[in-house]
Structure 1
Amino acid sequence: MLKSYGVVAGRLVPVENGGATVDQVVWVDLLTPTPEEEAQTEADLSLDLPTRKEMREIEQTSRLYSEDGAQFMTAMIPAKSETDEPIMEPVTFVLTGPRLVTIRYHEPKAFELFVQRAGKGHMPCPDGEAVMLGLLEVMVDRLGDVLERAGQDVETISRRVFERQQGRARRSARWQVLLEDIGRKGGLVSVIRDSLGTLDRLSVFFGQRLRHDTGTTQATEHQGRLHDLTADIRSLSDHAAFVAQKVNFLLDATLGMISIDQNTVMQIFSVVSVVFLPPTLVASVYGMNFEGMPELSMPWGYPAALGLILLSALLPYLFFRRKGWL
């Protein structure tokens, strides 16, 4: 899908609905473009757009480069970040002259939010640089909201891990649920950190272009917005690292709790085995039925043997209780 946007009366509007001419287009958005749409955009703007495979390259030189006077910048942006299973795909920003071209194969919420805000005139978009800055600001805001929600969820999980529980029947099912929750939050935070890292590198590369644009009020404003954006990205990266450390701590703590539970169960089995060992020995002795065993013919032999069995079980039990092993 190919969408073009122009500026009419200070508002960002689709070209086909806003009455803007091709020369007034400031943003071309390619969402899962067809070969025909790619070819049309390349011909109109004299560009060689990267393929989806090229966008997924992890080398920095493949994500951030200049070619034929245009700057190509790729960042990993999550979609469906309101869930614990976000979709992570690259988005390429191409600045060519006064226009911005974006290429993407998924639908991050930030694009929709930006179009809504810019369409109401809340985010002036006189050129491609301003459009890109607005998009990046919305993306970082979204990542901040997602990270805040993830941090709150991690705090909730932390309370669940360390809360006092009565009884032991809940153990295995409860730990399984907690491990699944921790794993999902860890994956979400990892996605956010990856996205913030690519946005940080992109902002540095973008700043190199803006440094060449000096002497105008608009250029100064763009540089100031980018400076604030970079500071936000790095502060969020630090917070994401803190949340990731807490997720790892909770994972270790949960595994430690599981190990304690398992050791407790094994301890109980061991104590029970020891408690029943003396009665088993007594019963084995009197089960041999030798003729020379005087107790077998005595009237008090049977109750005495039962009493001895009971006593031999009771004494180890009391000993373990006094030691606090039960």
Structure 2
Amino acid sequence: MLRIYYKKDQRLAKENELEMLRGIPLQDLVWVDLQNPTVEEKITIETYFDIKYSSEEKSSEIESSSRFNEVEDELIINTNFISFKPNGFEYSTASIVLEKGILFTYRDDDLKTFMESVKKIRSNASIFTNGYQVLLTILETAIDQDADVIESLAKEIAELNQKLTLSRNRSDEEILLKISSFQNSNMLLRENIIDKQRLISALMKSSLFPEEYMSVLRIMIKDISSLIEHNKFAFERLEYLQDTFMGLVNIEQNRIIKIFTVATVAFMPPTLIASIYGMNFKFMPELQWEYGYIIAVLLMILSSAFTLIYFKKKSWL
């Protein structure tokens, strides 16, 4: 899918047809967005504007030279954006080229960040006159979405903590899997936030990025630092939650072991009595007792009762 945004009559117009591209003056172009494009669309854009989008392998590399690079009058950027899925989220890489004030983006997924950015641009289209402003809007939207995801994750962690401490009929396996899932989501968020921090720091150092937009980048850096602190707090809270969970599991296991231990000890005296009178020796004086069986049973009951009373008195039960 191809989207071409350009200046027309003091507003930002949009075209989706590749054939319309040659009729738009270069000085009026603002943003060329490729989403899961055809081979023809990708090759045409690269050839017409003499640019080169990063390959999938290169865009996924973590080296700083692969994430941000300056080539003559081009800024070549590869950065991650959150991609929401039915069972959670992951991050998807977008390849970005900024040349002579025109923004070129290439991505495979239908990213919510770009959708929200387009809404912001349409709501105040007259102020968007170049690709630098569009890129800043995309980055601001991405940071806002990261913040929303962190807040949502914090709420879910709080709900899990309440369920852990208040619910007696809990599923320990389910809770442990949820904690693990939250930790994985938190790690993905941290990687995504750090990637934005590296990108914005590189833009601030770049000689190709206009000085007039540096104040916006500085605000973004402060916002990212705040997100990193919240992300760190979420990690600490999950560690505390995991420790609490393991402590409760240990207490429950100790209680079960304690019950088995008490039961074992309580039945030891009756077992001893039954063992003695179950021996098959020929000469045992008690064998001839008329009430020997009743006495033996009473002894077993009384010995168990005495043991349980003693444990109760010692507060072991």
Asked whether the equivalents of residues 10 and 121 of structure 1 are also in contact (C-alpha less than 8 Å), the reply is no
CA, structure 1 residues 68+37, in 2 after alignment: closer, same or farther (shift >3 Å)? farther
Structure 2 residue 65 is the aligned partner of structure 1 residue 74:
no
Per the TM alignment, residue 301 of structure 1 is displaced from its structure 2 partner at its CA by 0.9
Query: How far off is 1:99 after superposition?
Result: 0.5
Which of the residues 36, 55, 74 maps onto 1:51?
55
Unaligned stretches of 5+ residues in structure 1: none
Q: Which of these residues, 168, 189, 193, is aligned with residue 192 of structure 1?
A: 189
Matches within 5 A, 1:211-290: 213-214=210-211, 219=212, 222-290=213-281
Q: Do structure 1's residue 41 and structure 2's residue 38 form an aligned pair?
A: no
Note closer, same or farther for the CA distance 1:6–1:323 as it changes in structure 2 (3 Å cut). farther
The answer to whether the 8 Å contact 2:53/2:96 transfers is no
Task: Describe the shift of the 1:16–1:159 C-alpha distance in structure 2 as closer, same or farther (beyond 3 A).
Answer: closer
* Alignment match, 1:153: 156
- Equivalents in 1 of 2:207, 2:117: separation in Å? 21
How do 1:152-191 and structure 2 match up within 5 A? 152-163=155-166, 165=168, 170=169, 174-191=171-188
- Amino acid paired to 2:90: I
- Taking a change above 3 Å as real, the CA distance of residues 189 and 27 of structure 1, as seen in their structure-2 partners, is same
Q: d(CA) in 1 for partners of 2:183 and 2:87?
A: 9
Larger deviation: 197-206 or 260-269?
260-269
2:130 corresponds to 1:127: yes
For residues 84 and 241 of structure 1, what CA distance do their matches in structure 2 show? 24
Q: 1:98 to 1:278 in 2, by over 3 A?
A: same
Q: Is it true that 1:311 corresponds to 2:314 in the alignment?
A: no
Question: Normalization by structure 2: what TM-score?
Answer: 0.91
Distance 1:86 1:239 in 2: 19
SS at match of 2:259: helix
Are residue 28 (structure 1) and residue 32 (structure 2) matched? yes
Residue 172 of structure 2: SS of its match in structure 1? helix
TM-score of the aligned structures, taking structure 1 as reference length = 0.89
1:123, 1:180 → 2: CA distance?
Answer: 49
- What percentage of aligned pairs have identical amino acids? 27
Match in the other structure for 2:103: 100
1:290 counterpart SS class: coil
Residue equivalent to 1:5: 5
CA contact (8 A) 1:10 1:126 kept: no
**Would you say how many aligned residue pairs link Structure 1 and Structure 2?**
313
Relative to 1, partners in 2 of residues 1:212 and 1:185: Cα closer, same or farther, differing over 3 Å? closer
Shift of residue 84 of structure 1?
5.7
Task: Kindly provide the CA deviation profile for residues 97-135 of structure 1, in whole angstroms up to 9, marking residues without a partner as x.
Answer: 111111212222111111122112168321010000011
- In the TM superposition, residue 49 of structure 1 has moved relative to its aligned partner by 1.5
2-structure distance, mates of 1:274, 1:290:
27
1:42 deviates by: 1.2
> Using the alignment, how far apart are the partners of 2:92 and 2:243 within structure 1?
30
Q: Give 1:6 deviation, angstroms.
A: 1.5
Give the residue type in structure 1 aligned to 2:34. Answer: L
